[in-house]
Amino acid sequence: MFDLFGTKLASRLLLGTAQYPSPAVLAEAVKASGTSVVTASLRREMAGGRGGEQFWSLIRSLGVRVLPNTAGCHSVKEAVTTAKMAREVFGTSWIKLEVIGNHDTLQPDVFGLVEAARILCEDGFDVFPYTTDDLVVAERLLGAGCKVLMPWCAPIGSALGPVNMMALRSMRGHFPDVPLIVDAGLGRPSHAATVMELGFDAVLLNTAIAKAADPVGMARAFSKAVDAGREAFCSGLLEPRDVAVPSTPTIGRAVFS
Amino acid sequence: MKLIVNGEALEAKAATLDALLKELDYEGGWLATALNGDVVPAAKRPEFQLSEGDRIEILSPMQGG
């Protein structure tokens, strides 16, 4: 079991709910993934509209926890206000905090992120900050009151997978007791397995499943990869060696010449 | 009075935020509101007086990553 803010979670895969071909496919993918947590957002509702109600009913029927996000916010003020609105609507103090700093790369504005995290932590939020793999920023976020960190491994939606293994390894090594969730940039189940093998506690992804030809099948594949990576990490991986080492014992081999 | 609701200019008769939601046919416990950039919880909407030019955001749950 995986513990986040005192909540025991059966799955180490957190799943985004956007970009699926239909609500029915989203629901099936959530079930197939075995996830315990899905992300959701807040957007403008049309007068007389019921879109939000329908989506919210669907999510509640799935029996999973909701992690609201502040996606699309580009300032501290926007992010803090959105977080407070999400707390009221979704009835949770959990917030995936995004303060975007660049339109093209969608990389976080880490200065605004730390400031917003401090405000929200002081207000009683359980903040999940979407951040880079920068150690100093990570320390500032922990100093601001964050108990969890969510570093990217590549830009959002890029499907590149872990582009800086050294930084991820370093982050895991520096913060052995902080839950670390890789958020953004995963494209394949093998990417998820790779970061889980490094000892990351969980992964959060959306596009790689939602935009797959078969999202439900891909949800199952990612679920298996996350479990495999975690079990491998816990089982102690063999370190790479520069020389060949025979696996079959050499003692007792026949000599024919 | 003239208001900006979800980025659109409109003319409304309502004096409070709660009344504005009813006037515009918004209903449901899944809505979140903000006035001029600050959150207005559902319980406070009836007492929140609107003023000319106020900017109101009315949000609801949506898919997100």
ipTM confidence: 0.94
Q: Is A224 a catalytic residue?
A: no
Say if the Cβ atoms of B6 and A207 lie within 8 Å: no
CA–CA gap between residue A32 and residue A223 (Å, rounded): 8
Q: Which of A16, A45, A69 sits opposite B59 (nearest CB)?
A: A45
- Does the CA dihedral A119-A77-A93-A196 come out positive or negative? negative
pLDDT value for A48: 85
Residue corresponding to tokens 């009683």: A124
Quick check: A157 and A195 in contact, CB under 8 A?
no
pTM: 0.93
pLDDT digits (tens, 9 = 90+) for A199-239: 999 999 999 999 999 999 999 999 999 999 999 999 999 99
Quick check: A110 and A146 in contact, CB under 8 A?
no
Say if the Cβ atoms of B60 and A45 lie within 8 Å: yes
| Cα of B31 to nearest chain A Cα, Å | 6
pLDDT digits (tens, 9 = 90+) for B10-46: 999 999 999 999 999 998 888 999 999 999 999 999 9
Number of Cβ within a 10 Å radius of residue A22:
9
Q: B30 to chain A: which residues are within 8 Å by CB?
A: 52-53, 56, 89
pLDDT value for A49: 82
The catalytically annotated residue of A31, A96, A147, A211 is A96
H helices of B14-59, in order, are 17-23
CA–CA gap between residue A236 and residue A238 (Å, rounded): 7
Ramachandran region, residue A74 (left: φ > 0; alpha: ψ -120 to 50; beta: rest): alpha
CA A6 to chain centre: 18
Closest chain A CA to residue B56: A44
Say if the Cβ atoms of A44 and B32 lie within 8 Å: no
Q: A30 and chain B: CB distance < 8 Å anywhere?
A: no
Closest chain B CA to residue A75: B37
Q: A84 and chain B: CB distance < 8 Å anywhere?
A: yes
pLDDT value for A47: 86
pLDDT value for B34: 96
Q: Which of B28, B37, B64 sits opposite A41 (nearest CB)?
A: B64
Say if the Cβ atoms of B59 and A69 lie within 8 Å: no
Tens of pLDDT along chain A (257 residues) come to 889 999 999 999 999 999 999 999 999 999 999 999 999 999 999 888 888 889 999 999 999 999 999 999 999 999 999 999 999 999 999 999 999 999 888 999 999 999 999 999 999 999 999 999 999 999 999 999 999 999 999 999 999 999 999 999 999 999 999 999 999 999 999 999 999 999 999 999 999 999 999 999 999 999 999 999 999 999 999 999 999 988 998 899 898 98
DSSP state string for A96-164? EE--B--TTT--B-HHHHHHHHHHHHHTT-EEEEEE-S-HHHHHHHHHTT-S-BEE-SSSTT-----S-
Size of interface A-B (CB pairs under 8 A): 104
pLDDT value for A150: 98
